[in-house]
């Protein structure tokens, strides 16, 4: 931990020295909520989001805040270690071509609905999940699709001598619809309740004892499961693509971890609802993934169960500049040269791609160094080839 701010209603515990002004203001807002539990934890990759900083962790006993989970519910990482110790550039290009053929990217969906047996089973009957039920048929075309933004597929070489496969993706349009619907319901309810939390904070809440609060949690958990099913299906396509080019290849069990969700957990002797927005669980012994940018390493880590972070850690490098800012300020030739010199088959081709160039992200090694009280590094993974949404 780098510092503790004690000027607000509850403390803010920071794992970084240089938090941007917008994210810090959002952390202060969280720390002054009437129902905040214990303190606010801010991870080393933190930057401004909607309502709550991305890279933020907060807990409550009484409410759930949809914007403290975010719009890409269940977004997360998965990684698979292969038996390969090497792969050539030509083989990588063939694998990437096959992945692009079988995994829809960006806004693309499957043209035909997938079999419903690949969808998660809800905790309750589907008709009790307002938005999931409404969006279910559309979701059948979204399963096994990457999405855009910072979502990616990477083939990597680990310092353990093995080739790894990695996917970053979430719950696609399903999670977006659930998040927006319940955030609006929370805004309406807070108005009716006469809540004194400023609307400008974008932290409208749903009481856990309310029907709306409980249904949101059920729909949120379904989206977390859907995001996992989505990553799992893409990983099977990626493994098939690799096998179509190189044989034999054996695959170890998949590591999976989400970084946008809320869950009931025991902390400081109380059962509380922990909101992680751009933060991952790092319980003692838990294996996690902290990705870099497409020009920097990613890390397989083991959690240390630090109670001060609500047993959490960073979810990635974290942005140091906004998307439009990156497109305006970064030099395309310089960013491409930086990747080319590392021999990475990358996805930076035009000015429009600069929002996902390495220069738009924080230094992942500094992010890792700032949280060595939260996680232990097990494997460093250097990117070989990258597909961006």
Residue 218: which of 178, 190, 185 has the closest Cα? Answer: 178
CB neighbours (10 Å) of residue 105? 18
Which residue is catalytic, options 47, 275, 315, 346?
315
CA atoms of 262 and 272, how far apart (whole Å): 10
Q: Identify whether 315 is a catalytic site residue.
A: yes
Distance CA 385, CA 372 (A): 28
- The DSSP bridge pattern shows strands 163-169 and 76-81 to be antiparallel
Reading the block at residue 356, the tokens are 């996902």
d(CA 62, CA 251): 43
Distance in angstroms (rounded) separating the CA atoms of residues 75 and 259: 6
- Burial (CB count within 10 angstroms: exposed 0-12, middle 13-18, buried 19+), residue 94: middle
Q: Dihedral of CA 356/361/363/365: which sign?
A: negative
Cite the active site residues: 315
């Amino acid at each position: 931990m780098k510092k503790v701010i004690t000027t607000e209603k509850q403390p803010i515990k920071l794992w970084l020295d240089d938090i941007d002004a917008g994210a810090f203001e959002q952390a202060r807002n969280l720390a002054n909520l009437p129902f905040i539990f214990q303190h606010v934890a801010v991870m080393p990759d933190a930057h401004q989001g909607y309502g709550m900083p991305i890279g933020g962790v907060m807990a409550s006993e009484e409410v759930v805040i949809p914007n403290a989970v975010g719009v890409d519910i269940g977004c997360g990482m998965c990684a698979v270690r292969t038996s390969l110790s090497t792969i050539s550039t030509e083989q990588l290009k063939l694998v990437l071509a096959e992945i692009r053929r079988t995994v829809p990217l960006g806004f693309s969906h499957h043209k035909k609905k997938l079999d419903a047996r690949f969808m998660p089973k809800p905790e309750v009957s589907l008709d009790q999940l307002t938005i999931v039920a409404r969006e279910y048929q559309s979701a059948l075309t979204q399963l096994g699709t990457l999405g855009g933004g910072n979502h990616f597929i990477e083939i990597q070489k680990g310092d353990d001598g093995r080739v790894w496969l990695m996917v970053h993706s979430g719950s696609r349009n399903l999670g977006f619809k659930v998040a927006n619907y319940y955030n609006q319901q929370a805004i309406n309810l807070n108005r009716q309740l006469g809540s004194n939390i400023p609307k400008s904070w974008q932290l409208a809440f749903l009481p856990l004892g309310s029907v709306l609060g409980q249904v949101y949690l059920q729909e949120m958990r379904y989206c977390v499961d859907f995001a996992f099913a989505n990553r799992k299906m893409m990983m099977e396509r990626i493994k098939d693509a690799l096998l179509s080019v190189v044989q034999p290849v054996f695959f170890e069990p998949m590591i999976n971890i989400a970084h946008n969700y809320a869950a009931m957990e025991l902390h400081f002797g109380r059962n509380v609802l922990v909101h992680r927005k751009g933060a991952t669980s790092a319980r003692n012994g838990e294996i996690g993934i902290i990705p870099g940018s497409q020009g920097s390493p990613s890390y397989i880590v083991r959690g240390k169960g630090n109670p001060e972070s609500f047993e959490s850690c960073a979810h990635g490098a974290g942005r140091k500049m906004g998307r439009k800012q990156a497109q305006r300020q970064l030099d395309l030739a310089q960013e491409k040269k930086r990747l080319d010199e590392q021999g990475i088959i990358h996805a930076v081709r035009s000015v429009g791609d600069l929002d996902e160039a390495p220069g738009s992200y924080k230094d992942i090694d500094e992010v890792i160094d700032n949280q060595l009280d939260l996680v232990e590094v097990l494997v460093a993974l250097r990117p070989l080839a990258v597909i961006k949404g």
